[in-house]
Structure 1
Amino acid sequence: FYAGAYAYGKSEKRTEIVDGRARKSYGHGKPFGTWEVLLRDHHEGYIDWSEFERNQSLIAVNTFAKKGGIKSGRGGQALLAGLLTCGRCGRRLSVSYRGRPSHPYYQCKSINQMLAKPRCMTFGASRIDPAIGKEILSAVTPMATEAAMEADRAHRDNLEERHRMMELDLQQARYEASLAERRYAACDPDNRLIAAQLEKSWESALRRVETCEAALTQARQIDAGIPIPDFAGIATDLEAAWSAPNVDTRCRQQLLRTLVTDIVADVDEEQREVILTIHWKGGQHSQLRIRKPNPGEHGQKTPDAALAVMRSMATRWSDADIAATLNRMGMQTGQGKTWTARRVGALRTVHKIHGYRSAEKNGEWLTLTEAAKKLGVTAHRVRRLIKEGVLPTEQVVPDAPHQIRAADLEKDEV
């Protein structure tokens, strides 16, 4: 009704044989094209018929959990939300978030919720989304130059059209000023009331001419000072345009839906690969295989160069000195943060990088207690030998635990 159409026969009755008797049921909706009566432009509507059809198609594809339904791009962190179909059960993959900060995951859990069966598949979006993004860029690259030329032409036409409209406005203002002048000149001077009113109209028309001239001059100066966007440069560097910080996920999702109809996902557990079959607009298909990370593997790994620096400095410098060195070298943690003594210590514990040479129990270096036990004396006596300079030791920092070389215990002075 709100689209200006009259419709009749949108539902039908059905007859079924139940227990040997005919049973009728009413209110079954019929497809849009099978309605008995549909009179368009029957009355004045709130929207036109084309907008109504566009709304209905959008509502249809946004229908959740229906066959063929694809949710529109609404933003979020997952690029492929609503586009992935399970290659095993045919249902839509949903998006879940895990961790802090949250990371998106794609999973087929409908069969688990409905039939209590194991989930078909689960995989993260950290590798899938960039791979699809590269496929999109490779697909649109051949048309990028043509689109850049069209965008440049549209930009120039827009500027010319705006200037032309302002010039027409100025021309109209000048005509009205000339008309007001002729009316004032044709007025009887003795009729002072009419003459005063015509003079005000003339002055108002002249002020409008001055305003239009100033606006046109200012617009030309501003447009001349603003550099024309480098559309050709954007065409040659689509990846930078795709990854620009001012381009949100919703914009990327909408661009993806203009090129892709559906993506069928499957997981090869033996090869540890995610298999994506992309159905492009127009009927073309392409397949993409992406390695699935092993359990415990993630993309926030500490750089190997930072671990190498840590291993070389651990037994001679404190965690604070190591953190300061890594920061001066411009290295960051796996999460892109700067280093602190606490983070260095935690990472040393995870990778079993000992901070003292005596921690390596190979007999070359000993702690103060181990040295006292080997000499058969108390730790207080060994401390006196160190204080008197008889027994040499090493310390990472002052007041840190003493590290004693085992060979030094065999000296005659000791």
Structure 2
Amino acid sequence: MNTKITPDHLRRAAVVYVRQSTMTQVTGNLESQRRQYDLAGAATTTGFASVTIIDDDLGRSGSGSVERPGFERLSALSAARPAIDRGQLLQLAHDLPTAWNATATDTRTKQRLIHILVQEIVCNLDDATNEAVLLVHWTGGRHTEVRVARVKTGRYPSEMAPSAVEALRKLGGHWPDRDLAVSLNRMHCKTGDGESWTTVRVRDMRERLGIPEYDATKMDVPMISLMKAAEKLGICVGSAKSLAQKGILPATQILPGSPWMVPVEALSSEAVRIGVQGVVDRRPKFYEDYQYDKVVRLSGL
């Protein structure tokens, strides 16, 4: 049994939503249909308290042009909340800080507390203060407003924004037009009529300036982006950027805000191999479970 399925999960009802969007699939793709129905048997074998099959939408499109009674049933079951004892809820309110901050309280326990105590959270943005305004609707009817400063990291300073012509003259030929358009928009460069950059607009401007098109075969040293380098090294982009900033991974930027350029041959160097191994060694022992457990999932998500 999957270790992520806990006894608490098994006490709940399992729902198998069987659906094929056209009658052609219903009559012709019987293997897919059989596998969907087999999930009910798998849920029973796993030990769920009850298993419900919803197959009302077989042959109904999900485009919105037809009603889907099965999906409505599924939504109603998903939205159903367990009955909450008021006395226990009030007691929990007094003990919540202690329970939340206890060293034995793991992320899954905090998720369960959120599902019990929070009915919904509405998020709005206050551009004047650059804050996210969260309105927490607690079970019982009370509301709390929380303001959280929005992260400013990565925003390109407007005073540093080069002109589009200057940026294209420096970046042109190093990256495809699509990547150039992304970089120009990131650097807050605008077209002559104040529009954002697209691949077509970059190509037209590049051709007017006489800048050659990007051709990877003509590069003296084969280069890839930092994202591609991270994929090849098996680490995240943030870790790859950290290695670049420390000088372990050779990478350069022609302009701030433009893509990082990483020599392909550098990926196999001993220094990079040691740096990547250091990133991997810092991961938790059970990395996949950690990736799941470290995120607090809010009600309804």
> Could you say whether these structures have the same fold, taking a TM-score greater than 0.5 normalized by the shorter chain as the test?
no
Task: Give the shorter-chain TM-score range.
Answer: under 0.3
TM superposition score normalised by structure 2: 0.23
The structure with the largest alpha-carbon Rg is: 1
